[in-house]
């Protein structure tokens, strides 16, 4: 016994094949986004913890591309991870410990920018929220964000920009 396929389904699939249509609701914009026109800039070259032992690292995500891009928005905070340069490698040092997306990302249209300040406690000893010891919280660092070239709201995921564009310029932390 052969399964019965509704005629409308046969026509829809045939029509899509002929016209090149897709049933996928997400657009693949990543191929058309010139990621080199996106950047993350910190507001200073050197950061020092304040009297309360907090680092406040300000940075701006700048969309110079021709497309809308999407920034992770987890409970009202950008993800904001900090990486330390150790030799020729970049090692995760600290950041907000939240899932990538707990709600829809921030849409950053062409020509727009979005600023954020990471407020991070710096322990005098031990690690606190850092993955490195307190004595190692100095040297060369950079900010990394999760930024998507496209976003599928149904699947709550998207196509990430290439890794080399997801990080800021290097900056120094001094104590």
Domain ranges of the chain: 26-173
pLDDT of 33 strictly over 50: yes
CB-CB contact of 62 with 37 (8 Å): no
- Rounded percentage of the chain residues whose pLDDT exceeds 90: 49
Measured in degrees and rounded to the nearest 5, phi and psi for residue 92 equal: -55, 130
Question: Per mean pLDDT, which range of 9-23, 125-139, 141-155 is the poorest?
Answer: 9-23
Mean pLDDT for 157-168 is 91
Mean pLDDT for 50-78 is 87
pLDDT of 98 strictly over 60: no
Average pLDDT, the chain: 79
Question: Per mean pLDDT, which range of 26-40, 83-97, 121-135 is the poorest?
Answer: 26-40
Q: Which fold has domain 26-173?
A: Immunoglobulin-like (2.60.40)
Which of 52, 2, 39 has its CA nearest to residue 164? 39
How many angstroms separate the CA atoms of 155 and 71, rounded? 16
């Amino acid at each position: 016994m052969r399964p019965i396929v509704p005629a409308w389904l046969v026509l829809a699939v045939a029509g899509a094949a002929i016209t090149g249509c897709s049933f996928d609701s997400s657009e693949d914009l990543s191929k058309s986004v010139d990621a080199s026109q996106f950047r993350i800039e910190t507001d200073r070259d050197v950061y020092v913890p304040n009297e309360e032992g907090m680092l406040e690292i300000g940075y701006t995500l700048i969309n110079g591309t021709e497309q809308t891009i999407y920034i992770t928005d987890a409970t009202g905070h950008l993800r904001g991870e900090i990486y330390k340069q150790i030799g020729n490698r970049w090692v995760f040092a600290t950041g907000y410990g939240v899932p990538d997306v707990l709600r829809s990302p921030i849409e950053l249209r062409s020509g727009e920018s979005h600023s954020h300040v990471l407020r991070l406690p710096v322990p005098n000893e031990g690690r606190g929220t850092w993955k490195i010891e307190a004595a190692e919280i100095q040297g060369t660092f950079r900010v990394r964000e999760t930024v998507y070239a496209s976003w599928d709201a149904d699947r709550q995921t998207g196509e990430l920009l290439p890794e080399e564009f997801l990080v800021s310029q290097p900056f120094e932390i001094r104590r």
